[in-house]
C-alpha cells in the first residue's frame, strides 16, 4: 500500500486527511497538544523532551547533592542517617550521570545533528521516540525506589508478610554509582534463589534494572545517530566538513555502542547472582568480585568520555562563533576526539590501582592514562589557537565556554596527578578524586552544556534568554563551584575518604567542609537561576531573528523556531563553515529543487514506540518487587515482556507511513555569488 | 557594557586567586590523616612522586593558563572592531601542533620515570631493607628460654595478616603466634615496631575494604577471595590514624583503625602482653555478674575472652579490650580527653604521642556501644541511637537464626553496668 500517492500537497499537516496504518490503526499525524508530544517522531520535539527531563533530573540530583553537603557541613552531624546518606550519594551520582548529563547531551544530539548535516530528520524517527520513552521509563523506575524508601520509612509496608521477611530494608540504591560486588551481590551458599544472603536490599535491584533499561535507550539512540550521520548528510557535506559537534556526537555514539555491552553483561550477571542464585561475583562460591570491577570500568571509563565529548563539541562550535575565526586545527580537533575515544578503552584499570593488579599492569595503565592527556591537551591548545587573533565577544555562551576550558584544564591537571599510580595510592577514594571528577564533569561538562543551552536556545525557541540574568547565573555557578570543590583537593590530601556520611572533629577537616557546603549552596542558587532564566525564556523571552549570534553552521540558516521539515529545500554544501562563508561573500551554499509545491516526505507519528517502551515500566517494577518477595510480582515482568514484544510487533506491522508536506520556495539565505561553489 | 563586565571578571579572578592563597596558607598539612606528612619510606616515596606531579602541573598551569588569559584579554572585541575581517583566517598550523604534542609528551616523561620506579619499590619489601628488617635482626628468638618464633623464620621480615570485616579490622601476627585460631588476635589497633620493614597480607571476609594509614602508606584493597599485600615501615614512634577507604556498606564511615608504632624492644613486650590470658574475676562483684551475662546474653558465641571463654571467633577478641584506646571500630575514643587535648595543643605539628586510656570514658563508651541499637536499651533505659547501624552485634536478623531474638540482646541499665564492669577487668 502506498502512502505517497493519496496526499495532496498542503502547507500544514493539520489540513491533511486523517490516516490509518496498514493494520487499520490510527496514526496520530494530525494530533496536537499532548498526544502530539507523546507520539512525536520529530527529532526537534524529542530533543526538547530529552532536555526538559534532563533539566528536571539535574534539579533532583542537585537537591540530593545539597542534602549530602548539608550533612557534611559539621563534624559528627546526625542530620541524615548513614543509610539515607549512602542512598543519597548513590542516587546523586547515578542521577547526574545517567539522567542528567547523558540525556541533556542526547537532547543536543537530537535537536542539532540533523540540522547541522542538512537532513530533515534522523535515520529512524520511531526508534528515536523509542529511545526517548525508554529513557523516561528507566529514569522513573530508578527514582521510584525513593517512593518505596519513603513508604518504608513511613511504615506503610509494615503490615505485609513480605516486608517482615526482608533482612535488609534499603529500598533506594545504596552501593555507590559503581556498585562494587560483593556489596551489591551475594555471599555464602544460596539455599534458595530468592534468599541467597546479600549485603543490601532491593534498592540494588532497582539500580540494576534501571541502568539496564537506560542502557537500552542509549544503545538504540546511538545506532540511530551513527546511521544518521553516516547516511543522511546533505550533498557536499563530506566527513571533514562536518561541524565538530556532529563529529563528537558520532564518536560518542560509537563509544556508547562499544562500552554499554560490558555493563549490560555485568548487570545481567549481577541480576542472576541476586535473583536466580548464580555465583558470578560470589567469593564464597568461587565467584570473582574483581570481575565486576573490570566489567564496570571498561564501561565506566569510556562513559566519562561519553559525558565529556559532547560538551567539547559544543565548545568547539561556540568558540569560532564568538571569536569570528574558523576553528584552529579542525582536523586535529576531530582526530584528537577520536583518539580520546579510542584510548578511553585502554585506561579502565586506573580506577583499580589499589586492587593489587601487580606492578606490570599498574605501570601499563599508568602510562596509558598519562598518554590520554596528550589528545586532551591538543584540544585545549587548539581552542586557544582559535581565540588567538580573533575578536572575542563575551556573550553568556562564550563566558561559560571559557569557564569550561579553564575548569576542564584544572580537572585535567588533577587527572595527571593520579595517573601516577603511587600518588594515586594516597588519592584513590578520597575527596581529591571527588574534586577531580567534579572539575571535569561539573566545571567541565555542566558549564559546557549550559553554554550550549544559552547558545542554541534562540534557535530552539526563537527567543533570547535575558543576558543580565545569564551573566549573574554564570558568575554564581563559577564562584560557587570553585568554592565547593576547590577545598576538596585539600580535604582529600588531608585524608578524608569519600562516601563517609560523617567524620570526627579533630581531623582538621571541619573548616573546609563548611566552606565547601557554602559553595555548594551558591552553586545551587546559580544553577537554579540559570534554569529559571531558561524556562522563562522558552515561554516569555524576547523574540529574535534566525541568526542572532552570527552563527557558522547550517542550523543558523533556518528560521527560529525551526519548521518541522527543517530545510524547505535540501542544502548542497561547498565548504566547511559553509553558511558563514556564504554570508560573507563566497557562494558556498546552494539548494536542491525539492520541497516547494511538490512537498517533502515526512514520517508518520506513532503510538508504538511509547507502547513498546511502556513494557520496560512493568519489567522495571516487576524485578525489584520479585526481589522484595511480593507474591505474583513475576507476572508483572512477564506482562512487561508481552507489552514490549506486542509494541515492537505492531510497530513493524503498522508500516512506515509518511505523508507529503509542502514547503515555502526560495528560502535560500542571501549571498553575493562568486565563481565556484567549492574551493 | 563589555568593559564593565570585563572589569568584573578580572575582579572575580583576583578574588578566586586570593581565596586560593589564603586557603593554602590556612591549610594544615599535618593533620591526623594527612598524606602530605609522610612518616615512613612508602608514604614518603608516594609523596615525592606526588610532588613531582604537583610541580609539573604548576608549571603547565602557569604556562597554559597564563597564555589562555593573555589570549582572551589581548584578543577581546573592542568597540568599533569589524568582527568580519578575520573570518577567512587559516585552519591550523602543523608545526605548532606537532611542537605542542611533542612538548606534552616530554612533560609526561618527566613524571612517568619516577612513577615507574615507585610502582616497583611500592610493591613489596625491597631487598635492601631485608638485612635490617628480618626478624633475627631486631627480635630475640628466645626470651628466658622460651622460643618466640621458629628458627626457619629468622630471615623473614615481620608479617601481619589484616582481615577486613563489616566494619572492623582484625590484625594477626602469624610468625609470633598471635592469630585468631590461637585465640590471640588483635582487633582495630595494629601495633608495629619502629624502623623495620613489614610485609602485610590483606584479606576480606565479606565485602571489599581498603587498608590505609595515610602517614605510613597509601591504600591497598582487601578483596574477598583474593590475596593482596603491601609493605610498610614507620620511622617515628607514635599513634597513627587509619581508615577503611573503600565503601563497604551502612557503617563505612565508622570503620576506622589505629596504628601504634613502638620501639622494637617495646614491641617485643607488647607481643608478650597479648599472649596473657584474662585474670580471674573476683566473686560476688558486679564484674562477676557481668561475666555471667556475657555468657547468658550470647556474647560468648562470637567474642573470645582467652582464659574465660573460648567459643567465639567471629567478632573482635575481647581478651584485652580494656587496654585498647578505642572501641567500636575505633569510632569511640577511650583515651583521656584532657590529655588528648593537651597533646594536640602542645605539639600540633609532630607525630601524635600515645595517651593512656581513661577508665571513665572507657566505661561510658562500653555502655553506649553495647546499649546502642533499636533492640537494646541504653543506660537511661531508653533505646539509644545506633553507634554503628547494621553492625552484626545488634543486627540479629542477619544471622537468620530463629532462636536468636530480641530478648537475648536486651539489657537493663543495671545489667549493662555489670557487663561494662566485667569488660573493664579485661586489661
Q: And the C-alpha cell for A657?
A: 507511513
Beta strands in A215-282 (DSSP E): none
pLDDT tens, residue by residue, B266-307: 999 999 999 999 999 988 999 999 999 888 888 888 899 999
Radius of gyration of chain B (CA): 28
Up-side HSE of residue A297: CA atoms within 13 Å toward CB? 16
Cβ B27 vs Cβ A512: under 8 Å: yes
Q: What kind and span of H or E run contains A469? A: helix A467-493
A506–B contact, CB cutoff 8 A: yes
In this predicted model, what pLDDT tens digit does every residue of A165-213 receive, in sequence order? 787 888 999 999 999 989 999 887 655 444 557 888 899 999 999 999 9
Alpha-carbon distance of B280 to B291, in angstroms, equals: 10
Residue A482 lies in a domain: yes
CB contact under 8 A, B115 and A420: yes
A25 alpha-carbon distance from chain centroid: 34
Residues in B 206-235 with any Cβ partner in A closer than 8 A: 206-208, 210, 212, 214, 217-221, 223-226, 228-229
Block residue for cell numbers 547550517: A554
CA dihedral over A481, A482, A484, A489, signed as positive or negative: positive
Domains of chain B listed by start with CATH number: 2-80+89-123 (1.10.287.90), 135-275 (2.60.40.420), 286-424 (no CATH)
**What number of C-beta contacts closer than 8 Å exist between A and B?**
333
Integer Cα distance of B372 and B374 in angstroms: 7
pLDDT on residue A458: 95
Q: Are A171 and A201 within 8 A, CB to CB?
A: yes
| The pLDDT of residue A129 is above 70 | yes
Whether residue A39 contacts residue A28, with contact meaning beta carbons closer than 8 Å, is answered with yes
Q: pLDDT > 90: what percent of chain A? A: 72
Of B49, B226, B251, the CB nearest to A422: B49
The rounded distance, in Å, linking the Cα atoms of A378 and A333 is: 7
Within an 8 Å CB–CB cutoff, is residue A169 touching chain B?
no
Mean pLDDT, to the nearest integer, of A145-167?
A: 89
pLDDT of residue A17: 60
Residue in B23, B112, B244 nearest the CB of A487: B23
Which residues are B259's β-sheet partners? B190, B240
> Which three three-digit cell numbers place residue B130?
631485608
Interface subset of A 282-341, CB within 8 angstroms of B: 283-284, 286-290, 323-332
Q: How far is B303 from chain A (nearest CA, A)?
A: 22
Quick: pLDDT tens for A290-301.
999 999 999 999
Using DSSP's 3-state secondary structure scheme, residue B189 falls into strand
> Is the CB of residue B31 less than 8 Å away from at least one CB of chain A?
yes
Residue A420 inside a domain? The answer is yes
The closest of B114, B116, B196 to B159, measured between CA atoms, is: B196
A615 to chain B, minimum CA–CA distance in Å? 33
Q: Do B247 and A421 touch (CB under 8 A)?
A: no
The rounded distance, in Å, linking the Cα atoms of B408 and A55 is: 52
pLDDT at B412: 78
CB A407 within 8 A of CB A451: no
Task: Give, rounded to a whole angstrom, the gap between the first and last alpha carbons of chain B.
Answer: 75
- Residue A376 inside a domain? The answer is no
- The CA distance from B318 to B326, in Å, is 12
Quick check: B252 contacting A, CB < 8 Å? Answer: yes
- The pLDDT tens digits of the residues spanning A424-444 come to 999 999 999 999 999 999 999
**CB < 8 Å from B in window 539-558 of A:** 550
pLDDT at B344: 64
A479 has a chain B CB within 8 A of its CB: yes
Q: What is the pLDDT of residues A439-487, one digit of tens each?
A: 999 999 999 999 999 999 999 999 999 999 999 999 999 999 999 999 9
The span from the CA of A541 to the CA of A647, in Å, is 39
What residue in A sits closest to B341 (Cα-Cα)?
A: A506
Q: For B13-26, b where at least 16 C-beta lie within 10 A, e where not — what string?
A: eeeeeebeeebeee
pLDDT of A4: 40
CB A620 within 8 A of CB A23: no
For residue A362, give the nearest of B119, B202, B219 by CB distance.
B119
The secondary structure element, H or E, covering residue A384 is: helix A373-387
Residue B304: the pLDDT is 93
Residues of B in contact with A503 (CB under 8 A): 253
The Cβ of residue A613 has, within 10 Å, a number of other Cβ atoms equal to: 26
pLDDT (tens, 9 = 90+) of chain B, 427 residues, equals 456 666 766 777 777 777 777 777 666 788 889 999 999 999 999 999 999 999 999 999 999 999 999 999 998 888 777 655 455 555 667 888 888 889 999 999 999 999 999 999 999 999 999 999 999 999 999 988 889 999 999 999 999 999 999 889 999 999 999 999 999 999 999 999 999 999 999 999 889 999 999 999 999 999 999 999 999 999 999 889 999 999 999 899 999 999 999 999 999 999 999 999 999 998 899 999 999 988 888 888 889 999 998 888 889 999 999 999 999 888 888 888 777 776 665 554 456 777 888 899 999 888 888 876 544 454 455 555 678 887 777 665 545 444 454 545 667 778 888 999 999 999 8
Please tell me if residue B113 touches chain A, with a CB cutoff of 8 Å: no
Total length of chain B: 427
**Higher pLDDT pick, A64 / A15:** A64
Q: How many residues does chain A have?
A: 679
How is residue A194 written as a grid cell? 530468592
Helices (H), B139-285: 264-275
Task: Please state the separation of Cα A484 from the chain's center in Å.
Answer: 23
A600-602 and A659-661 strand pairing: antiparallel
Count of domains forming chain A: 1
The pLDDT of residue A236: 93
Q: Is the pLDDT of residue A83 over 60?
A: yes
Helix, strand or coil, per DSSP, at residue B340: helix
Q: Do B223 and A355 touch (CB under 8 A)?
A: yes
CA contacts within 13 A on the Cβ side of B142: 5
- Nearest chain A Cα to B204, which residue? A283
A517 falls within a domain:
yes
Q: Is A33 helix (H, G, I), strand (E, B) or coil?
A: helix
Contact of B205 with A284, CB cutoff 8 Å: no
Q: Do B119 and A366 touch (CB under 8 A)?
A: yes
Cβ–Cβ contact B405 with A under 8 A: no
Question: Which residues, in sequence order, are CB contacts of A151 under 8 Å at separation 6+?
Answer: A157, A171
Stated as kind and residue range, the H or E segment containing A144 is helix A125-153
What is the Cα–Cα distance from A619 to A141, expressed in whole angstroms?
9
The secondary structure of chain A in percent helix, strand, coil, rounded to multiples of 5, reads 65, 5, 30
CB A446 within 8 A of CB A437: no
User: How far, in Å, CA of A664 to CA of A559, rounded?
Assistant: 12
Q: CA distances (Å), A304 to each of A108, A445, B247, B314, B417, in order? A: 18, 10, 21, 41, 54
- Please compute the mean of the pLDDT values over residues A327-342 and round it to a whole number: 92
- CA B163 to CA B151: how far, in whole Å? 26
Q: On the CB side of A678, how many CA atoms lie within 13 Å of its CA?
A: 8
Q: Is residue A441 part of a domain?
A: yes
Through-space distance between the first and last CA atoms of chain A, rounded to whole angstroms? 45
* β B256-262/B189-193 pair status: parallel
Residue A675: the pLDDT is 44
* Contact status, residue A43 vs residue A125, Cβ threshold 8 Å: yes
Q: Which residue in chain B has the smallest CA separation from A170? A: B250
Cα distances (angstroms) measured from residue A116 to each of A103, A234, A679: 19, 9, 20
Considering only residues 126 to 145 of chain A, which have any Cβ-Cβ distance to chain B shorter than 8 Å? none
| Residues A136 and A129 sit within 8 Å (Cβ to Cβ) | no
Q: Is residue A80 part of a domain?
A: no
Residue A300 · residue A294 · CB < 8 Å = no
Q: What gap in Å lies between CA B83 and CA B80, rounded to an integer? A: 9
Q: How many CA atoms lie within 13 A of A586 on its CB side?
A: 16
Contact at CB, B28 and A494, closer than 8 angstroms: yes
Confidence (pLDDT) at A2: 38
Interchain pair B53, A416: CB under 8 A: yes
User: A400: pLDDT confidence band, cut at 50, 70 and 90?
Assistant: very high
Element (H, E) at B159: strand B158-165
* β-pairing verdict for A26-27 and A19-20: antiparallel
C-alpha B139: how far from its chain's center?
A: 26
Let me know: does B259 contact B270? Beta carbons within 8 Å: no
Q: Are A625 and A633 in contact (CB under 8 A)?
A: yes
Predicted local confidence at residue A389, as pLDDT:
84
The predicted complex's ipTM stands at 0.91
DSSP-derived letter for residue B164 is E
Residue listed under C-alpha cell 598551569: B61
DSSP structural state of residue A575: S
Cell numbers 592527556 correspond to what residue?
A373
In whole angstroms, what is the distance from residue B159 CA to residue B175 CA? 7
* Dist CA A463 CA A539 (whole Å): 8
DSSP annotation of B76: B
Q: Do B119 and A550 touch (CB under 8 A)?
A: no
Give the span between the Cα atoms of B370 and B394, in whole angstroms.
Answer: 8
Which residue in chain A is spatially nearest to B220 when comparing CA positions?
Answer: A354
Which of B35, B64, B214 is the closest to A380 by Cβ? B64
A129 neighbors A40 (Cβ within 8 angstroms): yes
What is the rounded average pLDDT for all residues in chain A?
90
Domain that residue A500 falls in: 391-542
Confidence of residue A1 (pLDDT cuts 50, 70, 90): very low
Q: Which of A119-133, A251-265, B19-33, B222-236 has the lowest mean pLDDT?
A: B19-33
Q: Is residue A72 situated within a structural domain?
A: no
- Round to whole Å and give the CA distance between A649 and A422: 55
Residue A679: what pLDDT? Answer: 43
Residue A383 domain flag: no
Q: At residue A602, what are phi and psi to the nearest 5 degrees?
A: -115, 145
Residues of B in contact with A176 (CB under 8 A): 247
Amino acid at each position: 500500500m502506498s502512502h505517497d500517492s493519496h496526499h495532496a500537497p498542503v502547507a500544514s499537516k493539520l489540513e491533511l486527511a486523517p490516516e490509518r496504518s496498514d493494520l487499520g490503526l490510527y496514526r496520530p499525524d494530525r494530533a496536537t497538544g499532548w498526544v502530539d508530544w507523546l507520539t512525536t517522531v520529530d527529532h526537534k520535539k524529542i530533543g526538547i523532551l530529552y532536555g526538559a527531563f534532563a533539566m528536571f533530573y539535574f534539579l533532583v540530583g542537585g537537591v540530593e547533592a545539597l542534602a549530602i553537603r548539608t550533612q557534611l557541613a559539621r563534624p559528627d552531624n546526625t542530620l541524615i542517617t548513614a543509610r539515607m546518606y549512602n542512598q543519597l550519594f548513590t542516587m546523586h551520582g547515578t542521577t547526574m550521570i545517567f539522567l542528567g548529563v547523558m540525556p541533556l547531551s542526547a537532547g543536543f544530539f537530537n535537536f542539532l545533528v540533523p540540522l547541522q548535516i542538512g537532513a530533515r530528520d534522523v535515520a529512524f524517527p520511531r526508534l528515536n521516540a523509542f529511545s526517548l520513552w525508554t529513557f523516561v521509563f528507566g529514569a522513573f523506575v530508578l527514582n521510584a525506589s525513593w517512593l518505596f524508601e519513603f513508604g518504608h520509612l513511613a511504615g506503610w509496608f509494615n503490615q505485609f508478610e513480605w516486608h517482615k521477611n526482608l533482612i535488609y530494608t534499603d529500598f533506594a540504591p545504596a552501593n555507590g554509582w559503581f556498585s562494587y560486588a560483593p556489596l551489591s551481590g551475594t555471599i555464602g551458599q544460596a539455599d534458595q534463589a530468592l534468599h541467597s544472603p546479600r549485603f543490601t536490599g532491593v534498592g540494588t535491584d532497582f539500580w540494576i534494572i534501571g541502568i539496564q533499561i537506560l542502557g537500552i535507550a542509549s544503545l538504540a539512540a546511538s545506532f540511530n545517530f551513527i546511521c544518521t550521520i553516516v547516511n543522511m548528510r546533505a550533498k557536499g557535506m563530506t566527513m571533514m566538513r562536518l561541524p565538530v559537534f556532529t563529529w563528537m556526537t558520532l564518536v560518542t555514539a560509537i563509544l556508547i555502542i562499544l562500552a554499554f555491552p560490558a555493563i549490560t553483561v555485568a548487570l545481567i550477571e549481577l541480576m542472576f547472582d541476586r535473583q536466580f542464585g548464580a555465583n558470578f561475583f560470589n567469593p564464597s562460591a568461587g565467584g570473582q568480585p574483581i570481575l565486576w570491577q573490570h566489567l564496570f570500568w571498561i564501561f565506566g571509563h569510556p562513559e566519562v568520555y561519553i559525558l565529556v565529548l559532547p560538551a567539547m563539541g559544543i565548545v568547539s562550535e561556540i568558540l569560532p562563533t564568538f571569536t569570528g575565526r574558523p576553528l584552529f586545527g579542525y582536523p586535529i580537533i576531530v582526530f584528537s576526539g577520536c583518539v580520546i575515544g579510542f584510548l578511553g578503552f585502554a585506561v579502565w584499570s586506573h580506577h583499580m590501582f589499589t586492587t593489587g593488579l601487580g606492578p606490570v599492569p599498574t605501570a601499563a595503565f599508568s602510562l596509558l592514562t598519562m598518554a590520554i592527556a596528550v589528545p586532551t591537551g591538543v584540544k585545549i591548545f587548539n581552542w586557544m589557537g582559535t581565540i588567538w587573533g580573533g575578536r572575542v565577544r563575551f556573550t553568556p555562551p562564550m563566558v561559560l565556554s571559557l569557564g569550561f576550558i579553564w575548569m576542564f584544564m584544572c580537572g585535567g591537571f588533577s587527572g595527571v596527578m593520579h595517573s601516577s599510580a603511587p600518588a594515586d595510592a594516597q588519592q584513590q577514594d578520597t575527596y581529591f578524586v571527588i574534586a577531580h571528577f567534579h572539575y571535569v564533569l561539573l566545571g567541565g561538562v555542566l558549564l559546557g552544556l549550559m553554554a550550549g543551552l544559552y547558545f542554541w536556545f534562540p534557535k530552539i525557541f526563537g527567543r533570547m534568554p535575558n543576558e543580565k540574568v545569564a551573566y549573574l547565573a554564570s558568575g554564581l555557578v563559577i564562584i560557587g563551584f570553585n568554592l565547593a570543590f576547590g577545598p576538596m583537593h585539600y580535604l582529600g590530601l588531608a585524608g578524608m575518604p569519600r562516601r563517609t556520611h560523617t567524620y570526627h572533629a579533630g581531623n582538621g577537616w571541619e573548616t573546609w567542609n563548611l566552606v565547601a557546603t557554602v559553595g555548594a549552596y551558591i552553586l545551587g542558587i546559580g544553577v537554579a537561576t540559570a534554569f529559571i532564566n531558561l524556562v522563562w525564556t522558552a515561554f516569555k523571552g524576547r523574540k529574535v531573528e534566525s541568526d542572532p549570534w552570527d552563527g557558522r553552521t547550517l542550523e543558523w540558516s533556518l528560521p527560529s523556531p525551526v519548521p518541522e521539515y527543517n530545510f524547505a529545500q535540501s542544502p548542497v554544501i561547498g565548504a566547511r563553515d559553509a553558511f558563514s562563508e556564504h554570508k560573507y561573500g563566497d557562494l558556498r551554499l546552494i539548494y536542491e529543487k525539492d520541497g516547494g509545491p511538490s512537498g517533502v516526505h515526512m514520517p508518520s507519528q506513532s503510538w508504538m514506540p511509547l507502547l513498546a517502551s511502556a513494557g520496560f515500566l512493568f519489567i522495571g517494577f516487576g524485578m525489584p518487587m520479585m526481589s522484595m518477595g511480593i507474591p505474583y510480582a513475576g507476572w508483572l515482568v512477564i506482562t512487561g515482556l508481552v507489552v514490549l514484544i506486542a509494541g515492537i510487533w505492531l510497530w513493524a506491522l503498522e508500516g512506515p507511513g509518511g505523508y507529503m508536506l509542502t514547503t515555502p520556495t526560495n528560502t535560500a539565505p542571501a549571498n553575493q555569488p562568486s565563481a565556484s561553489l567549492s574551493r | 557594557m563589555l568593559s564593565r563586565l570585563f572589569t568584573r571578571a578580572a575582579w572575580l579572578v583576583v578574588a578566586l586567586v586570593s581565596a586560593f592563597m589564603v586557603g593554602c596558607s590556612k591549610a594544615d598539612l599535618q593533620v591526623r590523616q594527612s598524606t602530605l606528612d609522610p612518616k615512613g619510606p612508602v608514604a614518603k616515596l608516594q609523596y615525592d612522586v606526588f610532588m613531582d606531579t604537583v610541580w609539573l602541573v604548576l608549571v603547565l598551569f602557569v604556562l597554559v593558563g597564563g597564555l589562555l588569559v593573555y589570549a582572551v584579554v589581548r584578543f577581546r572585541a573592542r568597540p568599533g572592531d569589524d568582527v568580519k575581517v578575520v573570518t577567512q583566517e587559516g585552519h591550523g598550523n602543523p608545526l605548532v601542533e606537532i611542537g605542542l604534542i611533542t612538548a606534552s609528551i616530554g612533560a609526561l616523561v618527566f613524571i612517568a620515570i619516577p612513577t615507574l620506579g615507585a610502582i616497583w619499590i611500592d610493591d613489596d619489601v625491597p631487598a635492601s631493607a631485608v638485612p635490617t628488617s628480618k626478624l633475627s635482626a631486631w627480635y630475640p628468638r628466645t626470651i628466658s628460654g622460651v622460643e618466640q618464633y621458629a628458627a626457619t623464620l629468622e630471615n623473614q621480615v615481620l608479617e601481619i595478616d589484616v582481615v577486613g570485616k563489616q566494619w572492623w579490622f582484625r590484625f594477626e601476627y602469624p610468625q609470633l603466634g598471635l592469630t585468631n585460631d590461637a585465640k590471640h588476635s588483635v582487633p582495630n589497633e595494629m601495633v608495629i615496631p619502629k624502623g623495620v620493614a613489614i610485609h602485610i597480607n590483606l584479606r576480606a571476609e565479606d565485602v571489599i575494604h581498603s587498608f590505609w594509614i595515610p602517614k605510613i602508606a597509601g591504600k591497598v584493597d582487601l578483596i574477598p577471595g583474593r590475596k593482596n599485600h603491601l609493605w610498610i615501615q614507620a620511622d617515628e614512634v607514635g599513634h597513627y590514624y587509619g581508615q577503611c577507604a573503600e565503601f563497604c556498606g551502612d557503617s563505612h564511615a565508622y570503620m576506622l583503625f589505629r596504628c601504634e608504632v613502638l620501639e622494637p624492644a617495646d614491641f617485643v613486650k607488647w607481643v608478650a602482653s597479648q599472649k596473657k590470658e584474662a585474670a580471674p574475676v573476683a566473686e560476688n562483684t558486679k564484674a562477676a555478674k557481668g561475666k555471667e551475662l556475657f555468657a547468658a546474653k550470647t556474647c560468648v558465641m562470637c567474642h573470645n575472652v582467652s582464659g574465660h571463654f573460648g567459643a567465639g571467633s567471629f567478632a573482635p577478641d575481647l581478651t584485652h579490650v580494656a587496654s585498647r584506646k578505642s572501641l567500636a571500630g575505633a569510632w569511640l575514643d577511650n583515651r583521656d580527653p584532657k590529655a588528648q587535648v593537651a597533646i594536640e595543643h602542645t605539639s600540633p605539628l609532630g607525630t601524635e604521642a600515645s595517651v593512656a586510656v581513661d577508665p571513665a570514658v572507657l566505661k561510658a563508651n562500653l555502655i553506649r556501644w553495647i546499649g546502642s541499637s533499636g533492640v537494646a536499651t541504653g543506660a537511661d533505659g531508653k533505646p539509644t541511637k545506633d553507634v554503628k547501624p547494621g553492625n552484626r552485634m545488634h543486627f540479629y536478623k542477619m544471622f537468620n537464626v530463629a532462636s536468636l531474638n530480641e530478648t537475648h540482646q536486651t539489657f537493663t541499665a543495671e545489667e549493662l553496668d555489670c557487663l561494662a564492669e566485667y569488660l573493664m577487668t579485661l586489661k
